[in-house]
Structure 1
Amino acid sequence: MQHQVSSVQVSASSFQFLITLTLALVAQNFASAQSLESYIEEATASNPEIQAFELRYNIAEEKVNEANWIPNTEVSAGYFLSETETRVGAQRARIGFKQMLPWFGTISARENYASSMAEAEFVEITIAKRKLGLSVAETYYKLYEIRAKQIVLVENIQLLETYERLALTSVEVGKASAVDVLRLQIRQNELVQDKKVLEQQAFGIQAAFNSLLNRDHDVPIETVTELALPEEETAFSYDGLSLNPELLKYDKLYESVAQSELLNQRESAPMIGFGLDYLPVSKRTDMDLFENGKDIVMPMVSVTIPIFNNRYKSISKQNELRQQEIETQKDQRLNVLESALAKAISQRNQARIKFEIQTKNLKQAQDAEEILIKNYETGTIDFNDVLDIQELQVKFQMNLIEAAQMYYVQSALINYLTKQT
């Protein structure tokens, strides 16, 4: 009776893993998504790299205000060491000011150019946030993989302990040898070793995850311990790549070059200046004249003529070449993103195939285990076969976890590449 109870416990323990890993647990998947989303939001709010990008954007925005300027007013003053005599008196000094004004629309062109550069910086923020979210997701699922494997090892260590007790009982009644017991103990030691190695890996992944969130490295991270694959794939389109911020960045850069050229055209136009000179005049004492000692006020208008404008022509040529460069860079980046998307889709499909096959393999291995346990009741159990089946089960369970981890990592990458918002 004791043997029958033990066999039931072994069978129930191993079969439970298959149920928890393969059933579509909608509620738990939803909780997982919510937990991961909260981590991404926290990372976005506190990550120093994102904060640096936001400061760069604030600086670019402030440059719009900087663009609204005109040349400094020029004020001059002079005193005649040797007074110049005029009919109505001697000129004693000269005071003047002059203000140059840019051509019509130049200030607006400067502001438009600064605004286009600020928009390009804003796209950089969007890119940085999406890359950060992807890194958080990848690290989260890696931590899930390690912890799920730890659970598998604990379950199988307990399973081997049960087998060990069965083997000891069999040794007492002459149905097994001490070698069988030792082999079971060696196998347990190997699983304990793997579990401790995974614990150390978990510490490193946890520290990396907390670093993304700008937290202390030892802050606990909550993750799910099981993930089921959805029955249907999330819809996506290659057209979504055209709205990826990594490509939109080049559109903004192209527009900024266009605004730079408009500004160049405005700056190559003449500048108009207005001024006023004031010359105080001393009265003549040797005679009384009409308007004797009347001060001189002289309004002035000046125009700068860009005769030697090779500089502006060169800037126009540079802008044209820059736009061509941006177009080729965008085409190249699109090719890279399309390749990455195709690879992610392929690997996600591979993960689903592996998950389904490993699920079948695990079920068959558990069926074989049940047969071995039933054979124990008739006295024909072979503990070598038990170890082989147990090793296969661990392998299939690990493969299931790795397949699920790969599936969700590739889904996160597909989402990064095709998400429109």
Structure 2
Amino acid sequence: MKRITTSRKILCVALTAAWCLGAQAQVQPGSTVESLLSLAREGNPDFASMRYEADAAAERITPAGALPDPKLRTELMDITKGGSQSASLSPSRVGSTRYTLMQDIPWFGKRDLKREIAELEAEGAKGRAYGTWSEVATKIKTTYAQLYYLVRNESLTKEILDLMLRLEKIAQVRYAGGLAAQQDVIRAQVEQTSMRNELIALETEHHHLMTRMNALLGRPASAPLAMPEGLRPLPMPAKLDYVSLEERARARNPMLSAEEHRIKAAEKSRDLAYKNRYPDLTVGVVPNQMQNEVKQWDLMFEINIPLQQSSRRAQEREAEAMVSASRAKRDATSNQLLADLSTNISELEAARRTERLTTDSLLPQAELTLKAALAGYETGKVDFATLLDAQRQIRQAKLNQIKSRAEAQVRLAEIERILGEDL
């Protein structure tokens, strides 16, 4: 009975450990792009920094349109009462005490302009935050595609390495029977050594890509990541029409949106510079205390005199120049984005066509060539060099297939960065 109970305990512990390991494996991100993007939204420090900057810019709106704090000034008049007493700082013992409560009031419309400028700058900061996220998402998608290519390349290299081991055995059998030269066996071994060296380089590059991905996710460099399982489906060619994508980019690209808000903020700043031609006001109430009683009330009104016209004209010219600079920056950003859009659409289509050609034509031809070369070598009709060439052709065909798929994903990520949204 005790043995049965002990066995049950061991079984429960083993099942629990297996479940924990399975759950740990499930929570590792990296199998899909979506899991990585979801993690990066919370962990990427660049995106977090821009979000906080956008929040800070939003908090500047209220103080920008608020009145300045009022000021209180106290003046003790005749603190010696004509020399009849020693100096005193008590309001009840001086000749009189003047209390001046003042409020600065900007010229009509200035507060509204300052608030509108702050609102536009907050919207621009939000656009830059979204732009940062688009950049981060593009890097994650690109790195994921590179990881996919690298993992498949490693698998392909190991597959070809196994093939070379079989070819070496065939060469050894033929050499033992006096049907082939020893050079064939040596060349097969050299080819295997070369592939093992490639595997070392691929493993090193894989480590670097994993480290880069963890940095994008805001995780420790050595944190585990699941292997990429597959690539996202490519959009249909009808969705890659340049004219429609250009309209979407102009309307939704976050960096263009930020530049538009920058232009509007510069225009409002220009209007504010012209408003500075008019004086600001200060009004105040002045109770006058004599002994212990307030016996007199005064009102005050103050304006600043805008005499420094050359300084104001310079500020106005500066504001006009900033408007022109913002418009030029917007145009430059737009031109670059649209050029990148056209380039990436073309390269995506080229990658798609290359992958289709490789899959439908080149790869079957390479497989047939390898089979024919292998059969010919076994019967002595072709030499080992021809067999190696056939092996290299099929490897290159499969590598081109993987590379074109990864390249299409990279171009898709760039298009989505320009659009500011997924296709």
User: Could you tell me whether the CA contact under 8 Å between 1:98 and 1:274 is conserved in 2?
Assistant: yes
Alignment map for 1:253-272 (pairs within 5 Å) = 253-264=262-273, 268-272=278-282
Residue 283 of structure 2 corresponds to residue 279 of structure 1: no
- The residue that corresponds to 2:303 in the other structure is 304
- Give 1:263 shift: 4.0
- The residue that corresponds to 2:72 in the other structure is 74
1:141 to 132, 141, 145: 145
CA distance in 1, matches of 2:67, 2:405: 59
**1:308-329 CA distances to partner (integer Å, 9 max, x unpaired)?**
2524443333222211111111
Q: Mean alpha-carbon deviation: is it higher for 201-210 or for 64-73?
A: 64-73
CA distance in 2, matches of 1:56, 1:230: 35
- Give 1:137 shift: 1.1
- Give 1:396 shift: 1.8
User: Could you tell me whether the CA contact under 8 Å between 2:30 and 2:226 is conserved in 1?
Assistant: no
User: Could you tell me whether the CA contact under 8 Å between 1:112 and 1:259 is conserved in 2?
Assistant: yes
User: Could you tell me whether the CA contact under 8 Å between 1:73 and 1:99 is conserved in 2?
Assistant: yes
User: Could you tell me whether the CA contact under 8 Å between 1:113 and 1:263 is conserved in 2?
Assistant: no
User: Could you tell me whether the CA contact under 8 Å between 2:30 and 2:36 is conserved in 1?
Assistant: no
- Give 1:273 shift: 0.3
Q: 1:420 to 1:317 in 2, by over 3 A?
A: farther
- The residue that corresponds to 2:392 in the other structure is 391
TM-score by length of 1: 0.81
User: Could you tell me whether the CA contact under 8 Å between 1:240 and 1:418 is conserved in 2?
Assistant: yes
| Greater C-alpha Rg | 1
- The residue that corresponds to 2:335 in the other structure is 335
**1:103-146 CA distances to partner (integer Å, 9 max, x unpaired)?**
44443333222222211111110110000101111111112111
- The residue that corresponds to 2:373 in the other structure is 372
**1:60-108 CA distances to partner (integer Å, 9 max, x unpaired)?**
1222232223243222121414537xxxxx9822221131231444433
- Give 1:399 shift: 1.9
Residue 246 of structure 2 corresponds to residue 238 of structure 1: yes
Q: 1:80 to 1:181 in 2, by over 3 A?
A: same
- Letter of the 2:76 counterpart: G
User: Could you tell me whether the CA contact under 8 Å between 2:80 and 2:94 is conserved in 1?
Assistant: no
Q: 1:34 to 1:215 in 2, by over 3 A?
A: closer
- Give 1:403 shift: 1.5
Specify the SS of the correspondent of 1:274.
strand
TM-score by length of 2: 0.80
Specify the SS of the correspondent of 1:83.
coil
Q: 1:33 to 1:341 in 2, by over 3 A?
A: farther
Specify the SS of the correspondent of 2:286.
strand
Q: 1:324 to 1:165 in 2, by over 3 A?
A: same
CA distance in 1, matches of 2:94, 2:167: 118
CA distance in 2, matches of 1:264, 1:327: 18
- Give 1:219 shift: 2.0
Q: Mean alpha-carbon deviation: is it higher for 259-268 or for 404-413?
A: 259-268
CA RMSD of aligned residues (A): 2.8
**1:173-193 CA distances to partner (integer Å, 9 max, x unpaired)?**
333222211111111111111
User: Could you tell me whether the CA contact under 8 Å between 1:71 and 1:99 is conserved in 2?
Assistant: no
- The residue that corresponds to 2:134 in the other structure is 130
Specify the SS of the correspondent of 2:161.
helix
- The residue that corresponds to 2:351 in the other structure is 351
- Letter of the 1:249 counterpart: A
CA distance in 1, matches of 2:303, 2:59: 30
**1:337-390 CA distances to partner (integer Å, 9 max, x unpaired)?**
122112212222222233233332221111012223344565535322211100
Q: Mean alpha-carbon deviation: is it higher for 47-56 or for 311-320?
A: 311-320
- Give 1:162 shift: 1.3
CA distance in 2, matches of 1:159, 1:231: 36
2:214 to 210, 223, 242: 210
How many residue pairs match? The answer is: 375
Q: Mean alpha-carbon deviation: is it higher for 225-234 or for 299-308?
A: 225-234
Q: 1:227 to 1:256 in 2, by over 3 A?
A: closer
Residue 38 of structure 2 corresponds to residue 41 of structure 1: yes
Q: 1:228 to 1:329 in 2, by over 3 A?
A: closer
Q: Mean alpha-carbon deviation: is it higher for 164-173 or for 39-48?
A: 164-173
- The residue that corresponds to 1:322 in the other structure is 322
- Letter of the 2:283 counterpart: G
- The residue that corresponds to 2:61 in the other structure is 64
- Letter of the 1:180 counterpart: D
1:118 to 106, 122, 140: 122
- The residue that corresponds to 1:249 in the other structure is 258
User: Could you tell me whether the CA contact under 8 Å between 1:240 and 1:417 is conserved in 2?
Assistant: no
Unpaired segments of 5 or more residues in structure 1? Answer: 1-31, 85-89, 283-293
Q: 1:176 to 1:377 in 2, by over 3 A?
A: closer
Specify the SS of the correspondent of 2:95.
strand
Q: 1:213 to 1:132 in 2, by over 3 A?
A: same
- Give 1:265 shift: 5.1
- Letter of the 1:298 counterpart: W
Alignment map for 1:165-180 (pairs within 5 Å) = 165-180=169-184
Q: 1:305 to 1:220 in 2, by over 3 A?
A: closer
- Letter of the 1:334 counterpart: S
- Give 1:331 shift: 1.0
Identity percentage of aligned residues: 18
- Give 1:34 shift: 8.0
- Give 1:220 shift: 2.7
Q: 1:225 to 1:192 in 2, by over 3 A?
A: farther
- Give 1:259 shift: 2.9
- Letter of the 2:258 counterpart: K
Q: 1:92 to 1:397 in 2, by over 3 A?
A: same
